[in-house]
Amino acid sequence: MNFWQKNNTPERTAVTLERIPSRRKIGEPERAASDRNPERALGAGQTSAEINFAGLCLTLDPSGAAYIAAQHTLIVSDLHLEKGSGAAARGRLIPALDSYDTLLRLKRAIKAYEPKRIICLGDSFHDRFAGDRMAEADRAALNSLCDLAQEWVWVSGNHDPEAPAFCEGERKDQLEIGGVTLRHEPDFENDGPQIIGHFHPKTSVAAGGYHFSGRCFYASDEFLIMPAFGAYTGGLSCADSAIASLHESKARIFMMHAAKIWRVA
């Protein structure tokens, strides 16, 4: 299918919402699939969530992108393009189609918000050689996305200190918007608010006798941690000390699934 061909398949987040049944009594029938519907257990969810972070008004999108309307800026993090081809090169039998899927979802987010500036917040490519492995069609698709914005910024990550040479746009270690620092990993020498990626936060919640888990935005007074956008990215629980220890204030957690977003904390 051509990259620009319309796809009417409902969008799904990269990490599927898990449905894990609670223990049943002996002889008790298993619940019907309709009773395990997250919208029935968790509520209807929202098509987006508006939050204020350190004076910035952001729209959190169920795709995993965040939009700052006042700055006409769309932020995504941890695309990890070509993670699939890297795994395949090491002998793992998984389809190397993650870049196509990730770019298609990114295109939808760009079309929805029509930003003037797009910031990729690090680990856009899975490793230093990912650009060499990328198919010509995916390279062309990526550069066609870059043409949709006036400004494209590649923030360096720990997986990709610099974006491949064929990628259009600026390269930066970090940048600032309205007094908020945007970078890939937290800067512990900076006392100001930061929007970061790196951790791939996910969360879980119990509802209706089941536990649901999915990727999430994790926001406190100190940090807004972006979810991983890439198709093959895993996740780290928000309860893990690597994430929990970053925050002195109470966090707001927004879990995503199936083109909806739920505030769960």
131 in a domain, yes or no? yes
Return the pLDDT at 205: 87
C-alpha triplet 64, 194, 58: angle, nearest 5°:
45
The tens digit of pLDDT for each residue in 3-42 reads 444 444 444 444 344 444 444 445 555 555 545 566 677 7
* CATH number of residue 258's parent domain: 3.60.21
Average pLDDT on 212-224 reads 95
Q: First CA to last CA across the chain, in angstroms? A: 40
> What's the residue count for the chain?
265
15 domain residue, yes or no: no
On whether residue 166 sits in a domain, the answer given is yes
Domain that holds residue 194: 46-263
The count of domains in the chain is 1
The total of other beta-carbon atoms located within 10 Å of residue 4's CB is 10
Q: For the chain, what is the mean pLDDT?
A: 88
Return the number of other C-beta atoms located less than 10 Å from residue 144's C-beta.
14
Asked if residue 234 is part of any domain, the answer here is yes
Report if residue 10 sits inside a domain.
no
pLDDT tens digits for 99-138? 999 999 999 999 999 999 999 999 999 999 999 999 999 9
Please compute Rg for the chain using Cα positions.
19
pLDDT tens sequence across 172-181: 999 999 999 9
H/E segment holding residue 125: none
More confident position, 210 or 137: 137
The predicted pLDDT at position 92 comes to: 81
Q: Is residue 27 part of a domain?
A: no
In the chain, what are the helix, strand and coil shares in percent, each to the nearest 5?
Answer: 20, 30, 50
Give the percent of the chain with pLDDT over 70. Answer: 85
pTM, to two decimals: 0.86
Task: For residue 51, give every residue at least 6 positions away whose Cβ sits within 8 Å of its Cβ, in sequence order, or none.
Answer: 57, 58, 60, 219, 252, 254
